[in-house]
Structure 1
Amino acid sequence: MTGVRRLRLLLGVLVLVVGGVVGVAAVPAEAATSITLNGGSAGRVFDGVGAISGGGGNSRLLIDYPEPQRGQILDYLFKPGYGAAVQMLKIEIGGDTNSTSGAEPSVEHTRGAVNCDVGYEFWLAQQAKARNPDIKLYGLAWGAPGWIGGGNFWSTDMANYLVSWLGCAKQHNLSLDYLGGWNERNYNIGWYENLRSTLNSSGYSAVKIVGADSDWGIANDINSNPAFASAISVIGAHYPCGYRSAQTSCGVPAAATNSGKTLWASENGSDDYNSGAQAMARGINRGYIDGRMTAYLNWPIVAAITPNLPYPTMGLVLASQPWSGHYTVGKNAWVQAQTTQFTAPGWHYLDSSSGYLGGNRGNGSYVTLKSTNNSDYSTVIETVDAGGAQTVNFAVTGGLSSGAVHVWSTNLNSGNQADYFVHESDITPSGGSYSLTLQPGRVYTVTTTTGQGKGTAAGPGAGGLSLPYADNFDGYATGAEAKYLMDWQGAFEVAGCGAGRAGRCVRQMSAQAPITWDTLSDPHALLGEPGWGNYTVSSDVLLEKSGYAELMGRANTQSYGGAGGLNAYHLRVSDNGAWSILSSNTNATVTTLAHGTVAALGTNRWHSLALTFAGSAITASIDGVTVGTANDRTWGAGQIGYATSQGETAQFDNLSITPGSGSGGSTGTIVGADSGRCVDVPGASQTAGTQVELWDCNGGANQQWTASAAGELRVYGSDCLDADGQGTTAGTKVVISVCSGTTSQQWKVNADGTITGVRSSLCLDATSAGTGNGTLLELWTCNGGGNQRWTRG
């Protein structure tokens, strides 16, 4: 057969297969880009590339990691010449209220009672400073205790509260460089002016104020109000390149540019620790090229929360298993390193040596920064969207070093850690000129500096938190957070026990409804594995005033925004003796499964509570006596938790979680033999009919499958793996549906690793033997392939 059979473009060469004869024709090369690196160019002062700890408890579990893993993670985040080398750390000023993925404690829960040793943000800042004394620190509030201003954030109380917080920082030998107002809640001109005056009179005149950690709207008032302008040093905007976007364009309105103020992307990113790398690479460069923004702060710094909470994999490092010590350094960290390991705050951008390759955004972007010694320089280049290789010819002038040039690169299209932050061959310029060929999908740094490096530490493999688990809370300092206990609303801290009990307990410290940032819910805190199924959780409880306290179990998905609800079961007890077994969901709908009364529990008296889960059976007891039972299959697995009514300062002690057997079966992942990836509900959707797929195992609730006694494979407790439309033919989609007991939702896990549908007798199959992320699952005739064999994790 003659004629052209196929066309392929391989490495810039067009390969034509014609009648079995291979011909090679050169593809016209793109014209080389010429860049003059001119040390005499004007440019703004570089303030740093950093990240945010806060906006919701995202660093919570990091402090609970054992050594040496905890130190290794901190090195990857902060140590110069090792990892992300974060140049600016923004920390939350806790307000006892949820601020995205959890709540952080206030240093002053009630007026006048200041405790500088609460939480973990000061600890984290100390660890950052110990590794990099030059790191810049920035404080920002998302919410505040309700006593402030009678619930008014924009009050003198709040300005004074920030001064108290700065005093606490000083007690921890920390000096803040920057201070913000109220995260993403606009601004109040008079309040900012008062804050500036208050800081000056309190000895903090060196602290610069950032406004308004929202959008660019504040620039208009800065330009028209000289007093306001004198109070604000930096205009910080959130997501100026687009919220969770590709960050291809990062424009700034003229009012901000003309203000003369320093401009920052004071929050950006919010993407997965690996898949966000491409967007971050664009944004760090283009924020300056498009908008002259001199700082880029990624939200958040670390994903140190359990996978049932919102945004569980965002950050630079995934560190969600302190019990196993497992952690993973993300591709995002190495994108940051391509700037941070080769620059320092105080360097200058060179405007004439920054721009788009060949003047085309699609080719990629580059920025050049000059050291304070006026000789060394670094050029950071991204070719994320480039269609092929391209050559750049550099000419060095204006006093910049003409010495050896070191080249480092990160392959953003690779999933192999060995391809990140690689030291390529050095280049020796000739007559101040040199050339470099850039491959697509990369970040490069071309530099005359030395001292860079890539850390080699690695954590152990992932592993679950095993049962039994117990904690009497006596081993912690007052004000600390008990190990693994994560606040969502309120502040659960270790305190001296009440009612004459010796030792320490966990106390809910928020005595009033807070000034919220997110949806207000009852104070509650969670602990443990989302995959725990059958167990008994017990704890002692003391009510300090009229109200209620709760022991929670099988708590899984916690919603963010909207209703702010939680999928969970609750044993609620009130001081008057009323009790109830409740089921709640992410829509904040609460259903009473059983209720009754016992003798009044009163206040300042200790009582013991217990909840037992065995399949669909739920048993509640108070003071060792069973008070009620319920039969409900809504939630098949989840964490335990403590909760109180709003403002109830209850105490908890002697936590115990013991495993059960029962009829609920095991909970865990389903992992493909060929792919090594997990059966996953895309986007953690709970919409019936969503087809399941393969995805990297990440511990999420959408990858936790409970094998029920009825032969179901349940996710989220109430949804079942199902054959779409109860189909029985090869190619039928495998989806999730509300569990209904139909045979299309029943599965047989076989000794050979296959999983077959009871109704169809067909195998759970990765479509077309796919192994990549996003491969959809279906029913198919059993054939022994590795795409039809699975293991339970």
Structure 2
Amino acid sequence: MRSQHAVPQLRAVAPPRTLRTLRTPLTVLLVLVMAAFAVLQAPPAHAAVNTAITVDGNSPGRIFDGVGAISGGGGNSRLLADYPEPQRGQILDYLFKPGYGAALQIFKVEIGGDTNSTDGAEPSHEHTRGTVDCGTGYEWWLMEQAKARNPAVKLYGLAWGAPGWIGNGNFWSQDMIDYLIAWMGCATQHGLKIDYLGGWNERGYNKAWYENLHATLAAKGYGSTKIVGADSDWSVAGDIRGDAAFAASVDIVGAHYPCGYMSAMTSCSTTSDALATGKQLWASENGSEDYNTGGAPIARAINRGYLDAKFSAFINWPLAAALYQNLPYNTDGMLTATQPWSGTYSVGKSTWATAHTTQFTQPGWQYLDSGSGYLGGDRANGSYVSYKSPGKTAWSTVLETLDATAAQTVSLKTAGGLPGGTVHVWSSDFASGRQSDYLVHTADLTPVNGAYQLTLQPGRVYSVTTTTGQGAGTAASPTRGLLALPYSDDFQSTRKGGEARYLADMNGSFEGAACGAGRTGTCVRQMATTTPITWDDGSDPYATLGDLSWSDYTVSADAMLEQAGAVQLMGRVGTQKGFAPGSINAYYLELTNTGAWSILRNSAAGAVTTLASGTVAAPGTGSWHRLALTFAGRTITATIDGTKAGSVTDDSYGSGQVGIGTAGYVAAQFDNLSVTPGSPAALSGTYTLVNRNSGKALDAAKQGTADGTPIIQWTRNGGGNQQWKITPAPGGYYTVTGVASGKALDVPGAAKVAGTQLDLWTSNGGANQQWLIVPSGGGYYTLEGRDSGQLADVSGASTADEAPVVQWPANGGGNQQWQLVPVS
């Protein structure tokens, strides 16, 4: 591996969760134009300023409740449970262990409801009325892991959806309160105390329901659990002020995205009603940011949430991007962990932005208003917030200069009984892509004439503290790798109520259960038999598994219907559109209980096309049948019980995962899943790589041959700088070498930041020079960097000459697809 070298970078902007779409070429182009306009309109550099700060132990200020993150809003933590040791433990340490990484102080989890709530579905503890199973899902395990690392972490439960039997489809019902009480009982069985409980995520509130929930919690022995209302917007505050009974039933006012949605979070807002309630105010969900580029916004919001709006807690969505990369928001969180089979993970700047507060304070500390403000009185210079511990035994000040353009100085004085003496300074350089530049113990300071003098550099976060015990974890991730074929699972190691290895629910609930219809052992059963109370767009139940690079293969499984309906076997499963789990690129073999079968093609636009259909002897219910789909280039063949049912030719999708599902919410079982490889054509030779969206070639800029030459697109001209030799590399990857330069297509400095422009560099065998070349359909391919897991992408879906080619998370766009045209 080589050392870092300079590279032009674009700020990655993840797709918003409120827009029900992935990043489209037009959206990205608009974002880039707006960003360019903002740069042109940027104010001139600010002169260096000096700020005097008094950290006064007698200052007024609210009580600090903590900084946390959310596992939920749909399956974003799903793959963590399947990670091998020691990597799984390392990831959990980076999230929860004090003095190591994010050191999260609040852990908010989804109360599963068998329904998709962004990146998948989480299983219910009560699929049918009265049958409670406290072993379902992975959130109990994850809460236990958090508590094992930090017994002081506060736990918070919130529902996004619920099983359809509840209130005959009415969330605001007594059934739902009883459902939450059953969940609280499960928590007790797991030895967990739930500190906070919410209502219905982003769906408003019902005053009478909250009052009933408050009374029921007290009556059932959970009176110490505080209720957060309403996990939506600030409108709840007006009713809290105007209704004494409602006010008594809500302990904390929590709003979502009060620091801006998908923004730099330079300012935060509340309302006069919210401030007048006298209750603690929380940003109970904020974030939705890339794990790296989201670091600076998070650092701003933690400080500015208090300065602008008196927030006492900031909770980031989500905890981690531990999900498949064909799903939306696949880089959002504290870190990424997308390949349990390889054990690879990547810790992001968001972790260290969080650590600058969580490692230097604790819930129960007090904000010090006199020691909090904007540097030089101007938010463009940055901000600072001070805290004291109970008993005035310790204090910390967190400062950020993320928007500053020049160095500045601060002078800190203590008063009001706070300790003086030596203080410790920790710093993170958010302009850097090196892990070694985050949470660095830079200096110890002693007061001179009663004040500590500190020079602040721009683009950084600092923590000044009397406390000790901080640190940045040093565990390192292994390299990314493919999930090898053949792959099989007989589900015998799947626990009751658990999800099979690598199998991720997208809708419904596929759990380990005793096999039926005379079969012994464990099978996977679809448990949700009524349409849930949904949070987002609904779909039929299904679950997916595997490597997105799988291309030519046969997927097969045993299936058994318990009710009239249909079972589905899926293949070449690719991109999902936004919040719409029913809109996904995939092929299906569907078999009904009456014997009707069909080969279907779905799309990210939600268009389902029947490619072939027919009938076989009716399988009925309660009997097992073997389904198989074979993909060989453009040919797709369906087999039922070993007999060919039909075959079609279609090249819409060239690769993708496998999956199982049902048509409608019916009970069905699956067993003996198998994926066996075909014989895809090997890639080797010299090619021009032509972008699907623009029709232009992958090009070494200005016919450059030197290390660091940027990669762009340019009109095809037959030049050697547009010719690339593709050579197999270990592990199923390839190197892509410029013919004119003899140098490798390379991600500079092995950067993982989305938007990093690709370049040429002397071949060195590094993972940042290895590419997974995967058919995407229609004769096109994607190039996925082994080190980052991101795709070669024409920035902003531009069609112009000289547009930079960058790495960017997969989104299914034509600007990420390349035709390999052989050079004769």
TM (normalized to structure 2)? 0.81
CA offset digits 1:258-280 (Å, max 9, x no partner): 11111000001111111111111
Q: Which residue of 1 aligns with 2:821?
A: 747
User: 1:243-282, aligned counterparts within 5 Å?
Assistant: 243-282=261-300
- Long gaps (5+) in structure 1: 1-26, 685-690, 749-755, 759-793
* Cα deviations by residue, 1:530-581 (Å, 9 ceiling, x for unpaired): 1110100000000001000100000011122257411000000000000000
Per the TM alignment, residue 299 of structure 1 is displaced from its structure 2 partner at its CA by: 0.4
Is 1:289 aligned to 2:307, yes or no?
A: yes
In 2, Cα distance between the equivalents of 1:38 and 1:567?
A: 59
Q: 1:564 to 1:382 in 2, by over 3 A?
A: farther
8 Å CA contact 1:544–1:603 kept in 2: the answer is yes
Q: Secondary structure at the match of 2:332?
A: coil
- Contact 2:747 2:756 (8 Å CA) reproduced: no
- Listed one character per residue, the Cα deviations across residues 324-347 of structure 1 (whole Å, up to 9, x for unaligned) are 011111111011110000000000
CA distance in 2, matches of 1:502, 1:355: 66
Q: 1:710, CA displacement in angstroms?
A: 9.3
The answer to whether the aligner puts 1:577 opposite 2:647 as a matched pair is no
In the other structure, the counterpart of 2:385 is 367
Over 3 Å counting, the alpha-carbon distance change for 1:188 and 1:712 in structure 2 is closer
- 1:317 alignment counterpart: 335
- Partner Cα separation in structure 2 for residue 745 and residue 48 of structure 1: 50
Q: Paired residue for 1:540?
A: 558
Relative to structure 1, the CA distance from residue 68 to residue 344 in structure 2 (aligned partners, 3 Å threshold; closer, same or farther) is same
Alignment equivalent of 1:396, drawn from 391, 407, 414: 414
Matched, 1:556 2:551: no
Distance 1:562 1:123 in 2: 28
Amino acid aligned to 1:656: S
1:118 pairs with 2:136: yes
Establish whether residue 427 from structure 1 lines up as the match of residue 495 from structure 2.
no
Q: CA deviation at 1:432?
A: 3.0
Aligned to 2:530: 512
If you compute each CA radius of gyration, which structure gives the higher value, 1 or 2? Answer: 1
Q: Does 1:97 pair with 2:115?
A: yes
* Match of residue 788 from structure 2: none
For each residue in 1:492-534, what CA deviation from the matched residue of structure 2 results, as whole angstroms up to 9, or x when unmatched? Answer: 0010000010100000000110000010100000000111101
Q: CA deviation at 1:747?
A: 1.4
Q: Per the alignment, in what secondary structure is the counterpart of residue 608 of structure 1?
A: strand
Once the two structures are superposed, what CA deviation does each residue of 1:577-617 show, in whole Å capped at 9, x if it has no partner?
00000000012110011000000011000000000001000
Amino acid at match of 2:774: T
Structure 2 distance, partners of 1:470, 1:108, is: 30
1:639 is matched with which residue: 637, 657, 664? 657
Counterpart in 2 of 1:65? Answer: 83
Measured in 1, the distance between the counterparts of 2:610 and 2:735 equals 33
Report the CA distance between 1:306 and its aligned residue: 1.0
Q: Which residue of 2 aligns with 1:128?
A: 146
Give the deviation of 1:734 after TM superposition.
8.9
CA shift, 1:121, in A, is 0.5
Aligned residue number for residue 212 of structure 1 = 230
Q: Match for 2:566: what amino acid?
A: Y
2:88 match: secondary structure: helix
Structure 2 residue matching 1:285: 3-state secondary structure: helix
Whole-angstrom distance in 2 between the partners of 1:665 and 1:279: 42
Q: Structure 1 pair 695/376, CA: closer, same or farther in 2 (3 Å)?
A: farther
Are the structure 2 counterparts of residues 101 and 28 from structure 1 closer, same or farther at C-alpha, using a change threshold of 3 Å?
closer
- Measured against aligned partners, the alpha-carbon deviations of 1:288-339 in whole angstroms (never above 9, x if no partner) come to 0000000000000111001101100101011111100111111110111100
Matched residue SS, 2:443: coil
Q: 1:710 to 1:427 in 2, by over 3 A?
A: closer
- Alignment of 1:185 with 2:203, yes or no, is yes
Pairing 1:441-520 to 2, within 5 Å after superposition = 441-520=459-538
1:677 aligns with 747
What one-letter code is carried by the residue in structure 1 that aligns with 2:169? G
Counterpart amino acid of residue 634 in structure 1: S
Which residue of 2 is the match for residue 776 of structure 1? none
**Structure 1 residues 243 and 671: CA distance shift in structure 2, 3 A:** farther
Is the 2:653–2:777 Cα contact (8 Å) retained in structure 1? no
Are 2:781 and 1:713 equivalent residues in the alignment? yes
Partner of 1:334: 352
SS at match of 1:335: helix
Q: CA deviation at 1:431?
A: 4.3
Greater mean deviation of Cα atoms: 296-305 or 706-715: 706-715
- 1:234 is matched with which residue? 252
Give me the whole-angstrom Cα distance separating, in 2, the residues matched to 1:710 and 1:661.
18
SS in 2 for 1:546: coil
Q: Once the 2 structures are TM-superposed, how far is the Cα of residue 707 of structure 1 from its aligned partner?
A: 5.2
> Amino acid of the residue matched to residue 496 of structure 2?
T
- Secondary structure of 2:240's counterpart equals helix
Given that residues 713 and 721 in structure 1 are in contact (C-alpha distance below 8 angstroms), is that contact kept between their aligned partners in structure 2? no
1:7 matched residue in structure 2: none
When the two structures are superposed, what TM-score results if normalisation uses the length of structure 1? 0.84
1:417 paired with 2:487, answer no
- Cα deviation digits, residues 681-704 of structure 1 (max 9, x gap): xx99xxxxxx997499xx9xxx97
SS state at 1:71 partner: helix
Letter in 2 for 1:565: S
Task: Report the CA distance shift for 1:674/1:651 in structure 2 as closer, same or farther (over 3 A).
Answer: same
Matched residue type, 1:747: V
Q: Deviation at 1:677? A: 2.8
Aligned residues: 702
Structure-2 separation of matches of 1:745 and 1:317:
32
SS at match of 1:352: strand
Given that residues 571 and 658 in structure 2 are in contact (C-alpha distance below 8 angstroms), is that contact kept between their aligned partners in structure 1? Answer: yes
Partners of 1:411 and 1:180 lie apart in 2 by 36
Partner of 1:415, secondary structure, is coil
For 2:616 and 2:538, the matched residues in 1 are separated by 30
Is the CA contact 1:533–1:664 (under 8 Å) kept in the aligned structure 2? no
RMSD: 3.0
- Which of 40, 49, 57 is equivalent to 2:67? 49
**Structure 1 residue 730, shift from structure 2 partner:** 8.5
Q: Are the structure 2 counterparts of residues 664 and 202 from structure 1 closer, same or farther at C-alpha, using a change threshold of 3 Å?
A: farther
The AA in structure 1 aligned to 2:468 is T
Kindly provide the CA deviation profile for residues 331-370 of structure 1, in whole angstroms up to 9, marking residues without a partner as x: 1101111000000000000011101000000000000000
Query: What secondary structure sits across from 2:268 in the alignment?
Result: coil
- What SS does structure 2 have at the residue aligned with 1:294? strand
State the secondary structure of the residue aligned to 2:210: helix
Q: 1:665 to 1:37 in 2, by over 3 A?
A: same
Is the alpha carbon distance of 1:525 and 1:715 closer, same or farther for their aligned partners in structure 2, counting shifts above 3 Å? farther
Q: Supply the AA of the counterpart residue of 1:419.
A: D
Deviation at 1:32, TM superposition (A): 1.3
**Equivalent-residue separation in structure 2 for 1:322 and 1:662 (angstroms):** 25
Alignment of 1:581-596 (within 5 A): 581-596=599-614
Aligned-partner Cα distance in 2 for 1:348–1:524? 47
Structure 1 pair 522–707 and aligned structure 2 pair: CA distance change class (3 A): closer
Indicate how the Cα distance of structure 1 residues 45 and 732 shifts in structure 2: closer, same or farther if over 3 A, else same. Answer: closer
Question: 3-state DSSP class of the match of 1:173?
Answer: coil
- After superposition, the C-alpha distances for 1:407-461 in whole angstroms (9 at most, x for unaligned) are 0011000001110010011001134311100000000000000111111111211
